[in-house]
């Protein structure tokens, strides 16, 4: 172990409010114990094979403990590793790595490195761990090399030339790696809070018109389509919400819109994680399928922030992250009225 970052103080969270008859699965609501701050550990090892999406093999080819370092994936005896949208057995990842990094490197990755929310919450905050690494340390990730990634990392002190994007196995002679500062269980380490505060400074670069009421749309995203999405957006627009398509604007503008919001709503997904940039007293209303977890939203919430949900439903046997779903428009309107006092 190289360094341990203590857990932050225990913060009392306000329980979310549900405004729909459907409700969510009780197993997906966080417990007070699950949201207690966790210690963050930065480790160091030599001759580690780094595989995209947070998989590490030691010199004997064994899966190391911090592979998939979250919840049910944290398992030294893991038999199946999800890589590049399909499953590989351990035998399949024994091929020769494509390159070697001789100098120091910090691995910052996620099993879902292609999604914006995972870049924001799981990958970008890890940049602050470079403060505990040698000055020349490279930042290694399988997140696509997008403008958003590079802007976020540069705001956290990582120049673009220090970012090494990997798409295949690579050997790191001198590797630093650790727990992620935001975990799917809803635990949020103070390091992540510091990163979000630093990233909020990007709003100063934006000239976008700000709005008091903002609704974040998913209509430009193919996965997890809401069958009455147009009707839901029209409903929010009727109550004065500006309909925003986050994927169509730069990250600086997204953060600026959040900073200016006094009421924030949207469909559950990556875009709603931008609520970390909204004012602490800005109420947030999320419309999503009931089988999606709420733990991370609760953990990320500012202490005292009002968080509400309107739950819909879909095929219980389908993949809840991609399957189409539906919601009752009456529930949505009731949620708007009651959560925002409109």
pLDDT of 319 reads: 74
Assigned domain for 252 exists: yes
pLDDT of 131 reads: 95
Please give the Cα distance from 278 to 184 (Å, whole number): 21
Q: Strand, helix or coil at 320? A: coil
Indicate if 117 and 232 belong to the same structural domain. Answer: no
Containing domain of residue 117, as a range? Answer: 39-182
Positive/negative CA dihedral, 156, 161, 166, 171: negative
**Side-chain half-sphere exposure of 329, counting CA atoms within 13 A:** 10
Indicate if 178 and 210 belong to the same structural domain. Answer: no
Report the domain count for the chain. 2
Indicate if 306 and 261 belong to the same structural domain. Answer: yes
DSSP state of 96: P
Show the tokens assigned to 308.
């509400």
Phi, psi of 65 (to 5 degrees): -60, -35
Please give the Cα distance from 148 to 250 (Å, whole number): 7
Q: Do 287 and 325 form a contact (C-beta atoms < 8 A)?
A: no
Q: What phi-psi label fits residue 304: left (phi over 0), alpha (psi between -120 and 50 degrees) or beta? A: left
Assigned domain for 46 exists: yes
Indicate if 76 and 142 belong to the same structural domain. Answer: yes
Positive/negative CA dihedral, 21, 22, 23, 26: positive
Report the helix count and the strand count for the chain, using DSSP H and E.
7, 16
Positive/negative CA dihedral, 39, 195, 322, 68: negative
Indicate if 173 and 208 belong to the same structural domain. Answer: no
Assigned domain for 22 exists: no
Indicate if 51 and 105 belong to the same structural domain. Answer: yes
Quick one: which of 248, 291, 237, 285 has its CA closest to 263? 285
Indicate if 296 and 175 belong to the same structural domain. Answer: no
Low-confidence ranges of the chain (pLDDT < 50): 69-92, 94
DSSP 250-303: -HHHHHHHHHH-SEEEEESSGGGGGGGGS-TT--EEEEEETTS--HHHHHHSPT
Show the tokens assigned to 277.
């940039």
Indicate if 142 and 236 belong to the same structural domain. Answer: no
Phi, psi of 31 (to 5 degrees): -100, 160
Nearest-10 Cα torsion for 215, 218, 219, 221? 160
pTM for this predicted structure = 0.90
Indicate if 68 and 170 belong to the same structural domain. Answer: yes
Assigned domain for 335 exists: yes
Assigned domain for 193 exists: no
Q: Do 226 and 267 form a contact (C-beta atoms < 8 A)?
A: yes
Assigned domain for 147 exists: yes
Indicate if 170 and 221 belong to the same structural domain. Answer: no
pLDDT of 56 reads: 85
CATH code assigned at 240? 3.40.50
pLDDT of 302 reads: 77
Indicate if 322 and 216 belong to the same structural domain. Answer: yes
Assigned domain for 217 exists: yes
- Ranges of H-type helices in the chain: 116-118, 147-155, 190-199, 229-238, 251-260, 295-300, 329-340
pLDDT of 332 reads: 97
Positive/negative CA dihedral, 191, 53, 286, 29: negative
Which residues are 53's β-sheet partners? none
Q: Do 295 and 186 form a contact (C-beta atoms < 8 A)?
A: yes
Cβ neighbours of 7 (radius 10 Å): 14
pLDDT of 8 reads: 82
């Amino acid at each position: 172990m190289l360094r341990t970052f203590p857990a932050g103080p225990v913060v009392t969270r306000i329980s979310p409010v549900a405004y729909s008859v459907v409700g969510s699965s009780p197993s997906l609501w966080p417990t007070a114990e699950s949201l207690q701050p966790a210690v963050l550990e930065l480790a160091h090892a030599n001759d580690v094979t780094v595989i995209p999406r947070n998989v590490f093999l030691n010199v004997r080819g064994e899966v190391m403990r911090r592979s998939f370092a979250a919840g049910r994936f944290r398992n030294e005896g893991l038999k199946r590793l999800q890589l590049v949208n399909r499953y590989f057995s351990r035998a399949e990842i024994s091929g020769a790595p494509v390159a070697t990094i001789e100098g120091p490197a910090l691995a910052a990755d996620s099993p879902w490195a292609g999604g914006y929310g995972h870049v924001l919450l799981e990958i970008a905050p890890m940049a602050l761990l470079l403060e505990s690494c040698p000055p020349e340390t490279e930042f290694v990730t399988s997140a696509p090399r997008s403008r958003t990634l590079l802007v976020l990392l540069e705001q956290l002190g990582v120049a673009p030339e220090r970012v090494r994007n990997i798409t295949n196995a690579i050997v790191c002679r001198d590797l630093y790696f650790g727990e992620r500062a935001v975990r799917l269980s809803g635990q949020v380490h103070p390091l992540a809070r510091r990163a979000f505060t630093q990233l909020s400074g990007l709003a100063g670069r934006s000239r976008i018109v700000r709005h008091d009421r903002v609704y974040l749309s998913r209509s430009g995203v193919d996965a997890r389509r809401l069958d009455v999405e147009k009707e839901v957006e029209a409903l929010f627009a009727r109550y004065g919400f500006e309909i925003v398509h986050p994927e169509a604007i730069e990250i600086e503008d997204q953060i600026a819109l959040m900073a200016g919001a006094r009421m924030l709503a949207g469909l559950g997904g990556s875009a709603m994680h931008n609520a970390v940039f909204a004012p602490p007293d800005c109420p947030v209303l999320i419309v999503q399928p009931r089988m999606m977890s709420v733990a991370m939203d609760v953990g990320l919430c500012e202490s005292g922030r009002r968080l509400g949900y309107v739950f819909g439903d879909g095929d219980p046997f389908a993949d809840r992250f991609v399957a189409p779903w539906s919601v009752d428009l009456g529930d949505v309107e009731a949620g708007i009225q009651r959560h925002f006092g409109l």
